[in-house]
Amino acid sequence: MTSLRSALLAALLVCLTTVAAMTAPANDPAAADQDSAALLQKVVQQIAAGRTVTPLEDNALTTWEGVRKRAQPMTPGTARALKDFVSLSESRAISERQAGRDMVAFDLQAFADMAQELLQRNAGHAVAAEAQPTPIRAEPPATAVPLGNVPLANNVPPPLIEPAAASVKGSTSDTVIALAVPKPPAPPRAPPVQDQTAALLISRGDAMLAIKDISAARKLYELAANLGSAVAAKGLARTYDPGFVSKLGIVGMRPDVTLAASWYDRAAALGDREAAQRMQDLDAMAETTSSSSKSP
C-alpha cells in the first residue's frame, strides 16, 4: 500500500512539473517574446527551404499561426520581433529575386505583408482602447437641509462641475436625461488562418498562371478552394474554361468543359455570382456540342 501511494505521489509530481513547464512561457512575457522571435526565424528558414505550404506538419503557414496566436495581445517585444521580421523578409526577398528564386521571394514578401498587417491591427486595437471613455463614478445625492436650520452665511452653493455628457430637462418634470456618449468602433476582427492560407495560395496560383505554369497553378487553386475560397474555385475553373484557355495561348493545353463547369458550380455554391452565370453558359455549350455530335 505504501509503495502504491509513493508511486501515485511521484506520478502527480511529474504531472505538476510538466504543467508548470508548459504554462511558464505563457505567463512570462520575456519567454513569449523569445518564442515569437524563434518562430519568425523558423518561418524564414521554412520558406527558403520550399516548405511554405507543404508538408502539412512542417510548413511556414503552420508556424505563422503560432506567431499570430502569441501576438494576441501583442507585447512590445513581439512587436519589435515582427518589425525585424518585416525588414529581414523584404531584404531577403530582393536577394532571392536577384538570384532567380522568384517563388521564394514572393513568399517572403507575402509573409512580410502579413506581419505588417498584424502590426497595423495591433496599433488599431491600441487606439481603440485609448478612445474608450473613462467611467464616471456617480456621487450619492446630498440630503436636503432646511434653510431655517443652517446659518445664511454657510449657504454657499457647491462648485459648478461640468457634466460628462449633455443633459436635457423635460418641460413638465425635473428629471434630467443624460445623452449617451457614442462608443468608438470595435477594432477589426483578425481573419482566420484559413483565410490567410487561401489568400497566399491564390496569390501563388496567380503567379504561376502569369508564367504559364498551369499544372502548379491548378494545384494551388485547388488547395485554396478546398479551404472554402470561391475565388480559388473560380480561378481553377478558368484554367479549364475554353474561353480563357484560348487567351493563354499555351501549346498543347486543352480545355475541359465538364471540369470547368464543375468548379464554377463549386464557386457558385461558395457565393460567386459570376461563376454561376459562367456555369450556365458552359452547360448550354455542352448541350449544344452533345446535340451536334449526335446529329447525322
Given 76, 98, 130, the domain boundary residue is: 130
Distance between CA atoms of residues 23 and 69, nearest Å: 15
Residue 42 lies inside a defined structural domain of this protein: yes
Does residue 1 sit within a domain?
no
Helix (H) or strand (E) holding 83: helix 76-98
Q: State pLDDT tens for residues 168-217.
A: 454 444 544 445 455 555 444 444 556 777 888 898 889 888 888 888 88
Residue 180 lies in a domain: no
| Neighbouring residues of 58: CB distance < 8 A, sequence distance ≥ 6 | 46, 51
Residues 244 and 217: beta-carbon distance below 8 Å:
no
d(CA 48, CA 42): 10
* Residue 67, in any domain of the structure: yes
Q: Is the pTM of this model over 0.85?
A: no
Number of domains in the chain: 2
Q: Print the domain residue range for 95.
A: 16-130
Cα dihedral 244→250→255→259 (10° resolution): -80
* 90 within some domain: yes
Residue 178, beta-bridge partner list: 167
Q: Where is average pLDDT lowest: 26-30, 112-116, 126-130, 181-185? A: 181-185
Tens-place pLDDT, residues 240-278: 998 888 888 777 678 898 999 999 999 999 999 899 888
The number of beta carbons lying within 10 Å of the beta carbon of residue 212 is: 12
Domain endpoint, select from 114, 130, 146: 130
Query: Which DSSP state fits 26?
Result: H
Q: Which positions ≥6 away from 2 have C-beta within 8 Å?
A: none
For 12, 15, 206, the CA distances from 109, given in Å and listed in that order, are 48, 43, 15
Residue 154 forms part of a structural domain: no
Structural domain contains residue 185: no
Of the pLDDT bands very low, low, confident and very high (cuts 50, 70, 90), residue 73 is: confident
